[in-house]
């Protein structure tokens, strides 16, 4: 029962939505409005999932005193402090809450991925190898595209940006289109399996 | 003063993350732990103000649309996600939100398959359109798993591999650009905003 | 190949990666510190967005929606695009809406608007309107709802005002009027707009993406499902130039900018050194200087690495492949 | 050592956060009085309806780091409420010397988002008069209703069904109001009252959100001005039809404009007219001034201008037998020779102010030069929608050039973009033929666009200054022979390319004229603009929304019950002449009460008439008597009101009236005006049809709407979106395939999957690790269990672990997701059992590192280096971090095999790994190895669908290449 009812709900709703995408009628639009209102009311609670799991993971670390547990304290303190700052002083610009965002969260999350530039450079030097004919073609195409992006490429030869454009518009287009059709079918199959009640992993474990 | 201190904090945290390049170290660990906490903490008031108040509180308590209590209760069942015995309750809000995948089926067939098919059928009027046609068909065949890649058929599907490699090369080139751009952004921040060296 | 060379290559191949990191840092720092003028070639996907937005000039019954689906981590690439598009809209008197789907994007939207608007006499609720943060879970419902009635789907703007009563909403009802959506994201989020907003309501969709996503979006570009695309930092640099050359162009004949021309943009060079263009409007172009150097460096690394690889592999005798 | 690290961390944490407490004292220390804004002024906005003031002040310098200015307003000095704010970019400050803030039109008064209680503004001095915005509390906001003009916007349903009847004792007896709670309003909006004093103040907010002291409040008085001047009036006289035509450029439309009027002025009277205007202006500025002059111009036309809709800006006035006559407006003007007249247009507002346009002389012309409006046009319900659009369409499709670009440096090859305007009647375009001519008029080429991709490539023989195109469209059975379009590309020196010139249709310029579609329903007096279209456009979609609101002025409230009071009467529709509203009331008793009042009034008037002798008085009384009599007749005999009176059930009565209101406001009649914008226009008749569609209303409800369906069109909802038909078929086919193949697989039917090259490599690589006596590393991706890639990765793990167990080689599986952990452990354990080597199973071989993306990778790299793994597998979902792992693997000299469906990561895997399973190969490999029915069935279903797709693509391409475009056109375009 604990599985059946959710499955019935999703199958019913799912098929109603399949129908909705073909029916423009007012009734169908009203159904969507109803759904929209309900989902809007459900959605804020989803954030609790993230918060609870963060507390659980870090809480366990702290209580078990695993190595580096102190950092978990920092995480939780950061969470509580930021959230409280938002509730106490408001969320307008100029408040401590926005200060935290602008000077703590923003620079750090921006930097996190900036690290990748270094990694890719070191991988370029140490790992990107023309280890087969195919990999060679790949690297050559990559080099042309890279040159085609910067003014220098056009300075070397006007054919570099042209070739780069051709690579993107012809072989790349064919490749990505074929892959996309495959991926599209795969994704649709997954959605279909959910609708048909065949795929149930999203329900989580248990009975 | 206020501005200077703000910049110092931001620059310090930026450098803490960069210090990971040297090796994993407490500065990095600290910054990372802080980032995880602050990001999540940041979301809570924002969701409260922008979602909870207008879509739950206002309809129920101010507009008196009492029917909204049902989805609100459904939503609160999310909390049981991590409970061993009552975990099954969390399925309801999940399932409710997922109903919309039903719409995804015809819609994604429409736009990632049918529309793409149309564009794959364009009249051949030159070498490029011919190449796109050959490329698309051979790659599709390469990912067709019901026939072994042998003989002429095998050679044919092999053509697809070359097309794919060039396509991946293009992705590769652009990814390099993306990664470098992010670093450029950070260095613009450190040199420009913090030190005022870029004008 | 003599042993010395092999040893040399062996050695440089096993160089500590931190030295490489230093080279990378320097390769980016120097071009940023010492800006130089380099040409920016404008490409079709960017041009198409420019032309589309420009075609709304002064038209009160048309609007552009900018959708933000990224956080600060990909700001360097996307932010200059956003600022240039906003600047274009303000310059040409085009109604512009903004919306964002993740909490961390909310301040970025404000930041972008504030950066662009201060040079113009524009007012929230009249010339532009920020719908503010809407949770990702509501993305589909709102995206579809806007095809019907924007005021109903979005309800309130970032300041909590009911948007149906705002002056900007006059003549703007759904995607027929808010005819262009530009989605800024580090993921394939524009695809969702294509799948729903375009397939169901025929909205025009353009994407501002980080370079990672560029190649994957080409099929949509060819089918016209994406009417244009900003291709990473390069796209941002191109748009900056487009706005400089046309929308912000001031002369006696053209007090409010001039019309687009492929030939003019190809011939014109805009100096990015000096103060002619404010820094915030040329950030991407300065970045592209560093990008040039970095790309050369990368290619150089790949070549050196591979030469070393082939020489040392000979020594091993192709044992592992 | 680690503990000290952590201590450092905590210390840093405290450092970062303790800073937050600094901003408040840091600013308090500085001199706050220098933060008060200066030069604060409130001035009247000219040319408005008396509801607008503009505030201006000198912004504080950039160094003060201001982020916002907050504006407060009130009707006395001691209580000012928050009104609005202006954001400022803190880094750049405000560039100008003055900042402006407009307080005009209706703006938010109170709604559900308003605060619950009135709060004193924080961070201000004890005795400050500043408060937050108006609260929901009626005790506070109720008295404020008197200080503004308040407009309540009420959703129709709430007004009709959620009201409470309230009786209020007033001077002349008790009056009934409809009481509504705040939640029943979509919002309440306030506007300044002309002539009333309002107080304003402004203060600045600094970067750390400190509220600076407010400036001394100032007074502003909004003044009602005459409407804005209409800039351009054009007038024409069509001699052969003796019709005068007028057209003007619309001004900004405001709520207090009431009338459009047109006057004829003898040229000789121009000075007198100007004197008259001057006098009127003086009177507006100085109320004491008494006017003496008469307007020398003669009124020939007047109409209500129909706020809030965009009114018609064209007027036709017919001269019959040398006279213009309109009894209703008491117009009777004799017209002499048109040459001696000038025309003047005026806008009047509620206060009685009138603004005249510049005078314009008549362009005397012949009807032959008027635009041709003979195109067949029609109005229909738009298909494939939810019933909120009508479509107005006319003519046959148009084709035009939009742009051109040179393709080579010699400028002899050009890419020309074209576009098409179609309409629903002509929607299937078969061919477009283009004939291209050079400057000398020689045909260069003929192009048949059998597939319209909006672009043409044209070879010019030599660079050309001008290229002429002749175009023809074949669509829906029309050969287009009668519609030849011509357009030239002309070299534009400024833009330096060939630019499209004017478009001609059969020799006539197409965009010289534009179409304006006007519409009108049963509940508004005047025609309003639906949409304007270019001369080349062929249809417009007219939006008829479902949502409807009732607008009511609000000036009374009931604090005890928490109700705002609005009048309970409303109009069901206008009468058939669109003159008098058919008024009714929420409460049936009120209808009778009003009727009784009318009757009483009528009887009074009659007695008055019978007792008086003065001729003039009798005439005046008679007019009044007629008006009352007609109102009474309307109320007693109107079928709607009669039917409504029959209802016993109150709700049923309102429901019936609601239905009537819906029909009245959602059914529109249409007409088209085609104009050059300068009074040369042709106006169509109202569109009528014979085929009346079935409408979803009861006979009773539609009884009074005799023209419904004939000239008034009510949009209908549709049940199927026809353009989604291909998607429907495809969904069925694919859905069936998935369902069927999974069934087959579950039944155990043998399903063939071709051998995947990578699988042999897997075995070899395990062999190599065994040879070298080193462990194997297997990373099952970084995403969660719901990801298909992770599932595929895990089933490959099963195979690898089994082989490893057979060879007795150690396997290491780092995991990032803690839900994946137990599943991966189970998989490895089972593999060992299957291989018959449960003894060699080490529980710790599958382990959790961390959830953080980069730290996880650092951990995996550590494992690689410490354990010297000989073979590394990466199977599943990976993100940007992937190449950090493979790079390390590369330096340790391990064999690396990867598989992922993350398209962006595949290129890096290909260049850094020895073998890569690309995209779907990963699923196939896993299905091949696991033989699990769900995976297998899905794979086969996708496979067969793919086969269909390939076949269609091949056939479709071949067909379209030989000009057979039916297959390609069967697929959707967007």
Token readout for D470 is: 């002749």
Other beta carbons within 10 angstroms of residue D694's beta carbon come to 7
> What does the pLDDT average to over D201-210?
89
User: C167: which chain D residues are within 8 Å (Cβ-Cβ)?
Assistant: 105
- Rounded mean pLDDT of A152-169? 90
B144 token code pair = 């067709």
- List the structure tokens of D713: 């069109």
B111 belongs to a structural domain: no
Question: Is B35 in Cβ contact with A105 (below 8 Å)?
Answer: yes
Are C305 and A125 in contact (CB < 8 Å)? yes
Hey, are the CB atoms on A141 and B169 less than 8 Å from each other?
yes
Any domain includes A62? no
Q: Is the dihedral of CA B24, B29, B30, B31 positive or negative?
A: positive
D23–A96 CB contact, under 8 Å: yes
Q: Please, which pLDDT band fits residue C320 given cuts at 50, 70 and 90? A: very low
Torsion from C-alpha of B90, B91, B96, B98, nearest 10 degrees: 120
Full set of structural domains in chain D with CATH: 32-148+192-220 (2.60.40.10), 233-369 (2.60.40.10), 377-515 (2.60.40.10), 721-750+940-974 (no CATH), 755-931 (3.40.50)
- Indicate whether A80 belongs to any domain: no
* Chain mean position to CA B159: 32
Across the interface, do B44 and A86 touch by the CB < 8 Å criterion? yes
Q: Is the pLDDT of residue C260 over 90?
A: no
Residues D956 and D208: their CA atoms lie apart, in Å, by 65
D1 has a pLDDT exceeding 50: no
Asked if B46 lies within 8 A of C231 by C-beta distance, the reply is no
CB of A98 less than 8 A from some CB of B: no
Taking all residues of chain A, what is their mean pLDDT, rounded to a whole number? Answer: 89
Q: pLDDT category, C120, cuts 50, 70, 90?
A: confident
**Chain position carrying tokens 């409007």:** C281
Min Cα–Cα distance to chain D from B16, Å: 11
Q: Is A146–B173 a contact, with Cβ atoms under 8 angstroms apart?
A: yes
Burial of B27 (0-12, 13-18, 19+ CB in 10 A): buried
Pair (B25, B95) in one structural domain: yes
Please tell me whether residues B153 and B94 are part of one structural domain: no
Q: What's residue D823's pLDDT?
A: 86
Query: Does some domain include residue B107?
Result: no
Integer Cα distance of D85 and C159 in angstroms: 10
Segments in D485-552 forming alpha helices (H): none
CB pair distance less than 8 Å for B32 and D855: yes
Please name every residue paired with D394 in a beta bridge, in sequence order, or none if there are none. Answer: D377
Interface test with C, best of B23, B185, B196, B198 (most C CBs within 10 A): B185
Q: What is the mean pLDDT of chain D?
A: 88
Both B96 and B163 in a single domain? Answer: no
Number of domains in chain B: 2
Contact C195 B22 (CB under 8 A): no
Predicted confidence (pLDDT) at residue A57 exceeds the cutoff of 70: yes
Which contacts (CB < 8 Å, 24+ apart) does range D706-709 have? D706/D576, D707/D669, D708/D663, D708/D667
pLDDT number for residue D29: 46
Tokens standing for residue D921: 């190969």
> Of residues D390 and C202, which shows the higher confidence score?
D390
Q: Which residues contact B39 (CB under 8 A, 6 or more apart)?
A: A105, A109, C104
pLDDT at B199: 62
How far, in Å, CA of D865 to CA of D129, rounded? Answer: 71
d(CA A182, CA B156): 19
> Choosing among A122, A167, A191, which should be mutated to test the C contact, i.e. which has the most C CBs within 10 A?
A122
Which of B102, B109, B135 is the closest to A195 by Cβ? B102
Closest CA to B189 of B8, B5, B46: B8
Percent of chain D with pLDDT over 70: 97
For the residues D1-12, what does the mean pLDDT come to?
57
Give how far Cα D385 sits from Cα of B53, B106, D244, D380, D390, Å. 33, 18, 41, 13, 10
For residue D817, give the nearest of D861, D774, D856, D854 by alpha carbon. Answer: D856
How many angstroms separate the CA atoms of D184 and D166, rounded?
Answer: 16
| pLDDT of D280 over the 80 cut | yes
Angle at C138 between CA C134 and CA C140, to 5 degrees: 120
Is D153 touching C (CB cutoff 8 A)?
yes
What is the secondary structure of D254-272 as a DSSP string? -TTEEEEEEEEEEGGGHHH
Helix (H) / strand (E) element for D356: namely: strand D354-356
| Confidence (pLDDT) at D19 | 55
Closest in D92, D492, D497 to C118, CB measured: D92
Check CB contact under 8 Å for A106 and C321: no
CA count, 13 A, side-chain hemisphere, D540 = 21
pLDDT band at D5 (very low <50, low <70, confident <90, very high): low
- Does residue B135 sit in the same domain as residue B62? no
Mean pLDDT of A62-89: 90
pLDDT confidence of residue C318: 43
The span from the CA of D628 to the CA of D240, in Å, is 44
Indicate the range of C92-106, D14-28, D392-406, D451-465 predicted with least confidence.
Answer: D14-28
Residues of chain B contacting residue D6, judged by C-beta atoms under 8 Å apart: 26
**Peptide bond between residue D239 and the one before it cis (omega within 30 degrees of 0):** no
**In chain B, which among 128-157 make CB contacts under 8 A with chain D?**
133, 136-137, 140-141, 143-149
Q: Are residue B94 and residue B145 in the same domain, yes or no?
A: no
Q: How far is D510 from chain C (nearest CA, A)?
A: 20
How far D9 CA lies from chain A's nearest CA (Å)? 7
89-148 in chain C: CB under 8 A from chain B = 103-104, 106, 132-135, 137-138, 140-141
Residue D200 corresponds to which tokens in the numbers above? 């304003």
Examine the fold and report which residue of B101, B119, B149 is the final residue of a domain before the chain moves on: B101
**Alpha-carbon distance B20 to nearest alpha carbon in chain D (angstroms):** 9
Token reading at D804: 């490893």
pLDDT at A205: 60
> CB within 8 A of A138, min separation 6: which ones?
B165, B166, B168, B169, B172, D907, D910, D911
Distance from CA of D23 to the nearest CA of A (A): 9
What backbone phi and psi angles, to 5 degrees, belong to D303?
A: -150, 160
Mean pLDDT of D488-511: 89
What is the per-residue pLDDT for D226? 85
In a domain, B35, yes or no: yes
SS percent in chain A: helix, strand, coil, step 5: 80, 0, 20
- Residue labelled with tokens 């199977």: D875
Which residues in chain D have Cβ-Cβ distances shorter than 8 Å to C225?
Answer: 974
- Please indicate whether, in this complex, the C-beta atoms of C213 and D904 are within 8 angstroms of each other: yes
Q: pLDDT digits over C225-249, tens only?
A: 999 999 999 999 999 999 999 998 8
Question: Percentages helix, strand, coil for chain B, rounded to the nearest 5?
Answer: 85, 0, 15
- What residues pair up with D173 in beta bridges, in sequence order? D170
Residue whose C-alpha is closest to residue D701's, from D714, D689, D691, D688: D714
Task: Determine contact, residues D885/D861, Cβ cutoff 8 Å.
Answer: yes
Q: Confirm whether B86 is domain-assigned.
A: yes
User: What tokens appear for D491 in the block?
Assistant: 């070299």
* Structural domains of chain A, count: 1
Say if residues A49 and B81 touch (Cβ distance below 8 Å): yes
Encode chain B (199 residues) as per-residue pLDDT tens digits: 778 888 889 999 999 999 988 888 889 889 988 998 998 899 899 889 888 998 999 999 998 999 999 999 999 998 887 788 888 888 888 888 888 888 889 988 998 899 999 999 999 988 999 999 999 999 999 999 999 999 999 999 999 999 999 999 999 999 999 999 999 999 998 998 888 877 6
Q: What tokens were used for D187?
A: 């919002």
Residue B121 in domain:
no
Same domain, B170 and B90: no
B184 with C198: Cβ contact below 8 A = no
Is D379 a residue whose pLDDT tops 60?
Answer: yes
Question: Chains with ≥3 Cβ pairs under 8 A against D?
Answer: A, B, C
A104 touching C (Cβ < 8 Å)? no
pTM of the model: 0.88
Residue ranges covered by each domain of chain C: 3-37+285-316, 44-268
For an interface test with D, which of C44, C165, C226 has the most D Cβ atoms less than 10 Å from its Cβ?
C165
User: Which residues lie below 8 Å from residue B20, measured CB to CB, with a gap of 6+?
Assistant: A115, B28, D854, D858
Q: Which domain holds residue A151?
A: 118-184
As a whole number, the mean pLDDT across chain C is 88
Query: Are residues B41 and B96 part of one domain?
Result: yes
Answer whether B25 touches A (CB < 8 Å).
no
Q: What is the pLDDT of residues D534-560, one digit of tens each?
A: 999 999 999 898 888 899 999 899 988
Instruction: List all residues of chain A from 134 to 163 with a beta carbon under 8 Å from chain C.
Output: 139, 143, 146-147, 149-152, 154, 161
Closest CA to D64 of D213, D218, D244, D170: D213
Q: Residue D15's pLDDT is what?
A: 61
Please give, rounded to a whole number of angstroms, the shortest distance from the CA of C199 to a CA of chain D: 6
Domain assignment present for A132: yes
Instruction: Give the Cα separation of B25 and B41 in Å (integer).
Output: 24
Residue D711 makes CB contacts below 8 A (sequence gap 6+) with D669, D686, D687, D688, D689
B137 and B51 assigned to the same domain:
no
Reported as a single tens digit per residue, the pLDDT across B132-160 is 999 999 999 999 999 999 999 999 999 99
Q: Which domain holds residue B159?
A: 127-194
Helices (H), C130-273: 139-145, 150-154, 189-192, 199-201, 211-214, 218-223, 232-242, 262-267
Kindly report the length of chain B. Answer: 199
CB within 8 Å of chain B, chain A residues 126-165: 134-135, 137-146, 148-149, 164
- C44-268: CATH topology is Rossmann fold (3.40.50)
More confident residue, D946 or D172: D946
CA distance D429 to D98: 57
The pLDDT score that the predictor gives to residue D25 is 44
Residue D11 banded pLDDT, cuts 50, 70, 90: low
Task: Output the CA angle A178-A179-A181, nearest 5 degrees.
Answer: 65
What pLDDT, on a 0 to 100 scale, did the predictor assign at position A206? 57
Tracing tokens 């996190």 back to the chain, one arrives at A112
What's the mean pLDDT in D650-658? 93
B162 in contact with chain D, both atoms CB, cutoff 8 A:
no
Chain segment C122-167, per-residue pLDDT in tens: 888 889 999 999 888 788 889 988 988 898 888 888 877 778 778 8
Which of D893, D904, D905, D906 is most worth mutating to test chain C (most C CB atoms within 10 A of its CB)?
Answer: D904
- Domain assignment present for B119: no
**Mutation test of the interface with chain A: which of B95, B138, B192, choosing the one with the most A Cβ atoms within 10 A?**
B95
On whether both B161 and B85 belong to a single domain, the answer is no
pLDDT at residue D273, rounded to an integer: 93
Q: D183: which chain B residues are within 8 Å (Cβ-Cβ)? A: 62-64
* Residue B13 falls inside a structural domain: yes
Backbone angles phi, psi at D464, to 5 degrees: -130, 145
Distance from CA of D497 to the nearest CA of C (A): 6
How many of the other CB atoms lie within 10 Å of CB of A131?
Answer: 22
Give the span between the Cα atoms of D945 and D932, in whole angstroms.
20
Residues 728-787 (D) with a CB less than 8 A from some CB of B: 728, 730-731, 734-735, 752-756
| The two structure tokens encoding residue A85 | 């700052």
Q: Are residues B64 and B30 in the same domain?
A: yes
* DSSP E strands, D77-170: 79-87, 99-103, 107-110, 130-131, 149-155, 164-170
Bridge partners of D485, per DSSP, are: D471, D505
Cross-strand bridge partners of residue C66: C98, C182
Q: Using a CB–CB cutoff of 8 Å, tell me whether C290 touches chain B.
A: yes
Whether residue D668 contacts residue D656, with contact meaning beta carbons closer than 8 Å, is answered with no
């Amino acid at each position: 029962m604990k599985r059946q009812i959710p499955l019935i709900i999703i199958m019913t709703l799912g098929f109603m939505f399949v129908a909705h995408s073909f029916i423009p009628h007012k009734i169908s639009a009203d159904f969507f409005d109803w759904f929209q209102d309900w989902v809007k009311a459900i959605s804020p609670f989803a954030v609790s999932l993230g918060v609870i799991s963060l507390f659980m993971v870090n809480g366990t670390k702290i209580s078990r005193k695993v190595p580096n547990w102190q950092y978990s304290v920092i995480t939780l303190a950061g969470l509580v402090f930021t959230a409280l700052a938002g509730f106490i002083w408001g969320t307008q610009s100029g408040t401590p809450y926005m200060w935290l965002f602008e000077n703590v969260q923003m620079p750090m999350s921006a930097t996190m991925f900036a690290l990748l530039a270094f990694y890719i450079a070191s991988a370029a030097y140490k790992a990107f190898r023309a280890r087969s004919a195919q990999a060679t073609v790949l690297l050559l195409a990559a080099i042309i595209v890279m040159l085609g992006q910067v003014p220098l490429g056009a300075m070397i030869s006007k054919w570099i940006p042209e070739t780069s454009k051709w690579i993107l518009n012809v072989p790349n287009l064919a490749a990505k289109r074929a892959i996309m059709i495959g991926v599209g079918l795969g994704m649709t199959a997954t959605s279909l399996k959910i609708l048909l009640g065949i795929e149930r992993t999203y329900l989580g474990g248990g009975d | 003063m206020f501005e200077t201190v703000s910049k110092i904090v931001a620059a310090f945290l930026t450098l803490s993350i960069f210090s990971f390049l040297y090796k994993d170290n407490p500065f990095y660990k600290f910054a990372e732990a802080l980032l995880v906490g602050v990001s999540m903490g940041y979301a809570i008031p924002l969701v409260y103000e922008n979602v909870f108040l207008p879509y739950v509180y206002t309809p129920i308590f101010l507009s008196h649309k009492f029917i909204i209590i049902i989805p609100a209760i459904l939503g609160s069942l999310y909390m049981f996600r991590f409970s061993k015995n009552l975990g099954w309750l969390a399925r309801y809000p999940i399932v409710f939100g997922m109903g919309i995948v039903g719409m995804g089926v015809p819609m994604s067939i429409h736009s990632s398959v049918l529309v793409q098919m149309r564009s794959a059928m364009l009249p051949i009027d030159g070498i490029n359109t011919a190449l796109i046609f050959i490329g698309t068909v051979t790659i599709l065949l390469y990912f067709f798993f019901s026939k072994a890649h042998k003989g002429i058929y095998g050679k044919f599907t092999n053509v697809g591999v070359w097309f794919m490699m060039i396509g991946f090369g293009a992705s590769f080139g652009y990814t390099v650009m993306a990664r470098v751009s992010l670093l450029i952004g950070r260095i613009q921040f450190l040199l420009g905003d913090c030190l005022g060296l870029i004008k | 190949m003599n042993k010395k060379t092999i040893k040399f290559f062996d050695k440089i191949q096993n160089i500590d990666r931190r030295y490489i990191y230093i080279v990378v840092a320097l390769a980016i720092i120097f071009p940023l510190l010492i800006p130089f003028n380099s040409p920016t070639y404008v490409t079709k996907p960017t041009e198409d967005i420019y032309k589309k937005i420009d075609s709304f000039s002064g038209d009160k019954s048309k609007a552009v929606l900018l959708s933000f689906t990224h956080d600060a981590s990909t700001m360097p690439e996307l932010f200059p695009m956003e600022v240039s598009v906003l600047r274009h809209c303000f310059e040409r008197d085009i109604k512009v809406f903004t919306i964002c789907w993740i909490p961390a994007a909310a301040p970025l939207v404000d930041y972008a608007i504030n950066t662009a608007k201060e040079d113009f006499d524009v007012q929230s609720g009249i010339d532009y309107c920020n719908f503010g943060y809407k949770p990702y879970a509501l993305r589909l419902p709102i995206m579809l709802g806007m095809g019907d009635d924007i005021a109903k789907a979005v309800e309130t703007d970032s300041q909590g005002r009911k948007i149906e009563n705002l002056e900007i909403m006059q003549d703007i009802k759904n995607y027929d009027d808010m005819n262009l959506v530009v989605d800024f994201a580090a993921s394939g989020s524009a695809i969702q707009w294509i799948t729903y907003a375009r397939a169901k309501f025929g909205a025009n969709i353009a994407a501002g993406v980080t370079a990672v996503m560029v190649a994957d979006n080409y099929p949509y570009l060819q089918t016209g499902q994406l009417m244009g695309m900003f291709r990473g930092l390069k796209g941002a640099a191109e748009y900056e130039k487009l706005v400089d050359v046309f929308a912000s162009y001031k002369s006696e004949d053209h007090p409010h900018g001039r019309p687009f021309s492929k030939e003019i943009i190809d011939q014109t060079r805009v100096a990015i050194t000096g103060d002619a263009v404010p820094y915030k409007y040329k950030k991407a172009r300065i970045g592209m200087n560093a990008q040039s150097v970095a790309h050369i460096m990368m290619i150089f690394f790949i070549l050196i690495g591979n030469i070393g690889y082939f020489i040392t592999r000979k020594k091993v005798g192709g044992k592992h492949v | 050592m680690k503990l000290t690290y952590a201590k450092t961390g905590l210390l840093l944490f405290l450092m970062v956060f303790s800073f937050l407490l600094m901003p408040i004292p840091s600013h308090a220390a500085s001199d706050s009085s220098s933060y008060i804004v200066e030069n604060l002024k409130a001035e009247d906005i000219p040319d408005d309806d008396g509801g607008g003031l503009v505030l201006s002040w000198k912004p504080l310098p950039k160094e003060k780091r201001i982020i916002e200015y907050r504006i407060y307003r009130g009707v006395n000095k001691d209580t000012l409420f928050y009104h609005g704010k202006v954001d400022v970019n803190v880094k750049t400050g405000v560039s100008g010397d003055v900042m402006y803030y407009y307080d005009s039109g209706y703006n938010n008064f109170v709604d559900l988002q308003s605060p619950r209680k009135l709060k004193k503004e924080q961070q201000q001095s004890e005795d400050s008069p500043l408060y937050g915005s108006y609260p929901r509390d009626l005790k506070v906001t109720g008295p404020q209703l008197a200080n503004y003009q308040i407009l309540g916007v009420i959703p129709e349903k709430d007004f009709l069904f959620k009201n409470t009847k309230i009786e209020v004792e007033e001077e002349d007896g008790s009056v009934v109001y409809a009481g509504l709670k705040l939640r029943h309003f979509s919002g309440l909006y306030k506007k300044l009252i002309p002539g009333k004093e309002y107080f304003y103040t402004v203060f600045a907010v600094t970067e750390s959100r400190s509220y600076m002291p407010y400036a001394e409040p100032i007074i502003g008085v909004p003044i009602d001005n005459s409407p804005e001047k209409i800039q351009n009036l054009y007038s024409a006289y069509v001699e052969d039809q003796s019709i005068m035509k007028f057209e003007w450029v619309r001004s900004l439309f405001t709520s207090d404009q009431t009338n459009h009027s047109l006057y004829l002025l003898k040229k000789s009277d121009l000075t007198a007219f100007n004197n008259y205007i001057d006098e009127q202006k003086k009177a507006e500025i100085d109320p004491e001034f008494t006017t003496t002059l008469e307007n020398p111009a003669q009124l020939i036309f007047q109409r209500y201008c129909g706020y809030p809709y965009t009114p018609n800006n064209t007027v036709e006035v017919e001269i019959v037998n040398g006279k213009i006559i309109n009894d209703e407006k008491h117009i009777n003007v004799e017209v002499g020779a048109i040459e001696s007249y000038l025309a003047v247009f005026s806008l009047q507002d509620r206060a009685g102010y009138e603004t005249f346009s510049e005078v314009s002389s008549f362009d005397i012309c012949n009807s032959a030069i008027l635009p041709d409006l003979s195109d067949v046009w029609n109005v229909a319900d738009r298909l494939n929608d939810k019933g909120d659009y009508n479509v107005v369409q006319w003519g046959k499709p148009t084709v035009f050039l939009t742009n051109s670009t040179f393709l080579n440096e010699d400028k002899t090859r050009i890419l020309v973009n074209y576009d098409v305007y179609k309409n629903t009647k002509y929607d299937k375009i078969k061919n477009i033929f283009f004939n291209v001519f050079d400057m000398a008029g020689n045909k260069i080429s003929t192009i048949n666009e059998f597939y319209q991709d909006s672009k043409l490539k044209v070879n010019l023989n030599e660079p050309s200054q001008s290229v002429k195109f002749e175009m023809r469209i074949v669509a829906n059975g029309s050969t287009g022979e009668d519609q030849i379009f011509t357009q030239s590309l002309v070299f534009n020196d400024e833009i330096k390319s060939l630019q499209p010139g004017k478009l001609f249709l059969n020799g006539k310029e197409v965009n010289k004229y534009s179409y304006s579609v006007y519409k009108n329903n049963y509940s508004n007096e005047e025609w309003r603009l639906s949409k304007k279209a270019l001369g080349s456009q062929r249809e417009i979609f007219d939006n008829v929304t479902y949502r409807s609101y009732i607008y009511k002025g609000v000036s009374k409230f009931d604090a005890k019950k928490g109700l705002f009071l609005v009048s309970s009467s409303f109009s069901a529709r206008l009468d058939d002449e669109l003159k008098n509203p058919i008024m009714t009331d929420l409460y049936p008793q009120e209808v009778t009460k009003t009727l009784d009042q009318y009757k009483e009034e009528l009887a009074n008037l009659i007695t008055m008439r019978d007792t008086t002798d003065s001729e003039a008085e009798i005439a005046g009384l008679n007019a009044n008597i007629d008006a009352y009599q007609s109102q009474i007749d309307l109320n007693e005999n109107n079928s709607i009101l009669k039917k409504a009176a029959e209802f016993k059930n109150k709700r049923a009565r309102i429901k019936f009236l609601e239905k009537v209101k819906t029909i009245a406001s959602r059914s529109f009649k249409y007409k088209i005006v085609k104009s050059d914008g300068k009074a040369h226009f042709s106006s169509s008749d109202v569109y009528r049809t014979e085929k009346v569609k079935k409408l979803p209303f009861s006979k009773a409800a539609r009884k009074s709407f005799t023209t419904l369906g004939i000239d008034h069109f009510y949009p209908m909802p549709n049940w199927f979106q026809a353009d989604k038909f291909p998607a429907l078929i495809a969904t069925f086919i694919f859905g069936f395939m998935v369902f069927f193949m999974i069934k087959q697989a579950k039944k155990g039917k043998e399903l063939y999957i071709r051998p995947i090259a990578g699988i042999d490599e897997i075995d070899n690589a395990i062999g190599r690790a065994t040879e070298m006596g080193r462990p194997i590393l297997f990373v099952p991706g970084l995403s969660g269990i719901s990801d298909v890639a992770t599932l595929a990765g895990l089933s490959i793990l099963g195979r690898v672990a089994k082989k490893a167990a057979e060879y007795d080689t150690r396997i290491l599986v780092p995991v990032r997701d803690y839900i994946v952990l137990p599943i991966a452990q189970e998989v490895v354990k089972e593999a060992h059992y299957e291989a018959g080597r449960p003894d060699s199973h080490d529980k710790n071989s599958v382990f959790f590192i961390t959830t953080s993306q980069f730290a996880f990778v650092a951990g995996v790299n550590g494992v690689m280096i410490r354990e010297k793994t000989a073979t590394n597998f990466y199977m599943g979902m990976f993100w940007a971090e992937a190449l950090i792992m493979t790079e390390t693997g590369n330096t340790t000299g391990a064999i690396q095999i990867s598989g992922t469906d993350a398209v962006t990561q595949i290129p890096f895997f290909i260049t850094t790994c020895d073998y890569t399973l690309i995209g779907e190969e990963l699923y196939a490999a896993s299905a091949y190895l696991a033989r699990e029915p769900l995976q297998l069935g899905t794979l086969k279903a996708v496979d067969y669908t793919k086969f269909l797709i390939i076949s269609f693509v091949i056939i479709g391409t071949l067909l379209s290449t030989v000009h057979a475009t039916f297959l390609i056109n069967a697929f959707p375009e967007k």
